Amino acid sequence: MAEIGRFQKGDEIFYAMVVDGELFRLKGNVFESTICEKKPLALRGVKTLTPVMPSKVIAVGLNYADHARESNKPLPQEPLFWLKAPTSLIPDGGKIEIPFPHHRTDFEAELAIVIGRRARNVAPAAAARYIFGYTAAQDIADRTIQNTESQWARCKSFDTFTPLGPYVVTKINTHDLTIQLFQNGQLRQNSNTSQLIFSCSDLVSFVSTNMTLLPGDVILTGTPSGVGPIQSGDRLEVRIQGLAPLINTVK
User: Mean pLDDT in each 10-residue stretch from start to end of the chain (251 residues)?
Assistant: 93 95 94 91 93 98 86 88 98 98 98 98 98 98 96 96 98 96 98 96 98 98 96 98 98 92
Is residue 101 a contact partner of residue 59, using CB atoms and an 8 Å limit? no
CATH for the 57-250 domain, from 3.10.20.30, 3.90.850.10, 3.60.21.10, 3.40.50.720: 3.90.850.10
Give residue limits of the domains in the chain.
3-48, 57-250
Is residue 140 a contact partner of residue 229, using CB atoms and an 8 Å limit? no
CATH code reported for the domain at 3-48? 2.30.30
Q: What pLDDT does residue 72 have?
A: 82
**pTM for this entry:** 0.96
Tell me how far apart the alpha carbons of residues 180 and 48 are, in angstroms, rounded to a whole number: 22
Q: What pLDDT does residue 69 have?
A: 81
Phi, psi of 52 (to 5 degrees): -145, 165
How far the first Cα of the chain sits from its last, in Å, is 35
Q: What pLDDT does residue 179 have?
A: 98
Q: What pLDDT does residue 70 have?
A: 81
DSSP class of residue 120?
A: S
Q: Is 125 exposed, middle or buried (0-12, 13-18, 19+ CB in 10 A)?
A: exposed
Relative to beta strand 235-240, strand 228-229 is unpaired
Question: From the CB of residue 9, how many other CB atoms can be counted at a distance below 10 Å?
Answer: 17
Q: What pLDDT does residue 210 have?
A: 97
Q: What pLDDT does residue 65 have?
A: 84
Q: What pLDDT does residue 140 have?
A: 98
Q: Is 30 exposed, middle or buried (0-12, 13-18, 19+ CB in 10 A)?
A: buried
Question: From the CB of residue 153, how many other CB atoms can be counted at a distance below 10 Å?
Answer: 13
Kindly calculate the radius of gyration of the chain based on its CA atoms and give it in whole angstroms: 17
Tell me how far apart the alpha carbons of residues 200 and 194 are, in angstroms, rounded to a whole number: 11
Q: What pLDDT does residue 223 have?
A: 97
| Dihedral angle of Cα 169, 142, 65, 50, to the nearest 10 degrees | 0
Tell me how far apart the alpha carbons of residues 78 and 202 are, in angstroms, rounded to a whole number: 10
Q: What pLDDT does residue 68 have?
A: 79
